Amino acid sequence: MRTVIFDLDGTLADTSGDLLAAANHCFRGLGHGDVLTRETDAGTALRGGRAMLTLGFERLGVDYTEADIDAQYPILLQAYGDDISTHTTIYPGARDAIAQLRDAGYRVGICTNKPEGLAEQLMAALDFRDAFHSLVGADTLPVRKPDPAPFTAAVTRAGGDPARALLVGDTQTDRDTSTNAGVPSVMVTFGPGDFDVASLKPEALMDHFDDLGGIVARLIG
């Protein structure tokens, strides 16, 4: 079966607001107040909790070590899980595009570097989980993207064929994952980061979810 696998953060939904709120919870706990903002740091948010914590400590100009990051990371995850969807929005057209792929006979799944439990929780909170045949997170397997194994697992768990699949994402990690898996990649251009995804030379760029069906048909039939 032909299969389309999606990254989550920055691809299906803008999760930056809730991620940044969780990071700021850590900095408030350390007595610093809010350090990160959605206006300036949304792109960093989509690179994960450790990236946000690192940026915050650097912005404060305080001495920190990896041990400090390690200590705050579970606190960040707990805060995020406690308030996971207040500011998160699904990108325009995503729900309809996924439904149309399914109606056309494609299998669809998610491969994310967000912990699986949090990804499941978020997708349920957004009332979007049932639209997908599979979900593989950062800790589902012993390895994570850009290792190709999570992508392959997302395809096979969706009932698809890894030889007839592609990955839709928004970062270098997603592009490297598709390369490592030997499949085409589609990079979205509407994520909150300031990285030029065209420089990754994906097989296709997508400006809006309305374009997804045609792109997928061209790349994997």
Do residue 64 and residue 173 come from a single domain?
no
pLDDT tens-place string over residues 113-164: 999 999 999 999 999 999 999 999 999 999 999 999 999 999 999 999 999 9
pLDDT tens-place string over residues 28-78: 999 999 999 999 999 999 889 999 999 999 999 999 999 999 999 999 999
pLDDT of residue 188: 96
Q: How many domains does the chain have?
A: 2
Q: Whole-model pTM?
A: 0.94
Question: Is-catalytic flag, 127?
Answer: no
Look up tokens 């903002």; give the residue: 37
Which residues lie across from 205 on neighbouring strands? 187
Contact 177, 145 (CB under 8 A): yes
Considering 7, 14, 41, 170, which one is annotated as catalytic?
A: 7
Q: Are strands 204-206 and 185-188 parallel, antiparallel or unpaired?
A: parallel
Do residue 94 and residue 198 come from a single domain?
yes
Q: Which of 65, 82, 99 is the last residue of a domain?
A: 82
Q: Which of 26, 53, 82 is the last residue of a domain?
A: 82
Do residue 67 and residue 93 come from a single domain?
no
Q: Which of 32, 66, 82 is the last residue of a domain?
A: 82
Give me the CATH number covering residue 201.
3.40.50.1000
Do residue 50 and residue 143 come from a single domain?
no
Length of the chain: 221
Coil/strand/helix, residue 139: coil
pLDDT tens-place string over residues 179-214: 999 999 999 999 876 678 999 999 999 999 999 999
Q: Which range marks the domain in which residue 117 is found?
A: 3-14+88-220
